[in-house]
Amino acid sequence: MSLKIAIVGLPNVGKSTLFNALVKGSKAEAANYPFCTIEPNTGIVEVPDERLAPLGEISHSKKIIPAVVEFIDIAGLVRGASKGEGLGNKFLAHIRECDAIGMVVRFFEDGNVTHVENKIDPEADIATIETELQLADITTVDKRLFSIEKELKSGSAESKYAHSGLQKIKDKLYAGENAREADLDDSEQDALKGLNLMTQKPILYIANVSEEQLSNPATVIPAKAGIQDSPHRSPGTTLKNTAGPEDDNKKNDNFVPISAKIEAELNELTDSEKAEYLETLGIKNTGLNELIKEAYKTLGLITYFTSGEKETRAWTIRKGDTAPIAAGAIHTDFTKGFIAAEIVQWADFYAQGGWTGAKTHGLVRTEGKTYVVKDGDTIIFKFNN
């Protein structure tokens, strides 16, 4: 599956600078004035995975193909955007097309870079952005409710579930909360597929920090505890993990501190220089790695592998997907014609020297349609043409 993340935020919070740093070699314009990004910039980034190279080495693969994430750099959002202020609804459609939202929030101080609200206030910035997204979603929901009320006369079950789901979402939005907080049952969710509400999408909060703040995260995250209780924040905009119901009580797990400036500097270094620089900062991974890791966690995604002489490749699926669904990540025909899957964990595959060794030691299992694929599974699918 493809993974698309919309990079959003107020003007001059460092969205395009961050985008350029994340997507090495990209040409997104970064300037000290609002709306320097008008049309969205798009960049493809490889998902770092230390398991790929060893698998490719064992299989003597001609190619190694990582999973990828697509970042979309959206124009700056301002107060009143839902009513046409700034670039208005011009960019909202681009957000709706993405799987998740990466909200860039400015924490760094720099007198040479103006802030659209003339103050550095992360809590207020988040409240402004979420409020505008909520207001835009209200317009969408109200229009859909108007049309669905006519369809109710047909007596179809789908229109009934769509109406009840929309009403739950409307109640949340009018209370200043997000659509993702509405308690929809499976039938209501199915009936509302394709609605693409922005506040229903998983969200990653990206703190654009200075070098000092990155080295001392405690200076940024009173924010982790403080944002959710700030008087600047609108109701229902607490920073909580949106991966699933089991995480509802976790706050701020998807809050990622990144220094766009440092990420840009890292792109100019060799791997050894990069590791040395990170060590001096007291951090283990680049901001890009942390962001992608958090995106997978928040969206409930995992990786499985295929590995042979032709190529070793990483495939992204949702946690809980069965083998036929996972096969569909390669080609939809694999799902339709699925027969079985030969599966071994990547570490066993590597330790035993590939498929032959793993089979010799009884580590390869044959699984059917109900098997739930695990992160790190290395798989050969059998299917009917």
The annotation places the binding site for ATP at: 12-17
CB-count exposure of residue 64 (10 Å: 0-12, 13-18, 19+): middle
Q: Which residues pair with 46 in a beta bridge?
A: 68
Long-range contacts of 300-304 (CB under 8 A, 24+ apart): 300/243, 300/244, 301/3, 302/373, 302/374, 302/375, 303/47, 303/49, 303/67, 303/375, 303/376, 304/373, 304/374, 304/375, 304/376, 304/377, 304/378, 304/379
- Cβ neighbour number for residue 216 with a 10 Å cutoff: 12
SS3 category, 143: helix
As given in the structure block, the two tokens for residue 234 are: 């609108």
d(CA 180, CA 203): 10
In the chain the first and final C-alpha atoms are separated, in Å, by: 22
Give backbone dihedrals phi and psi of 102, rounded to 5 degrees, phi first.
-105, 105
Where is the binding site, in residues? 12-17
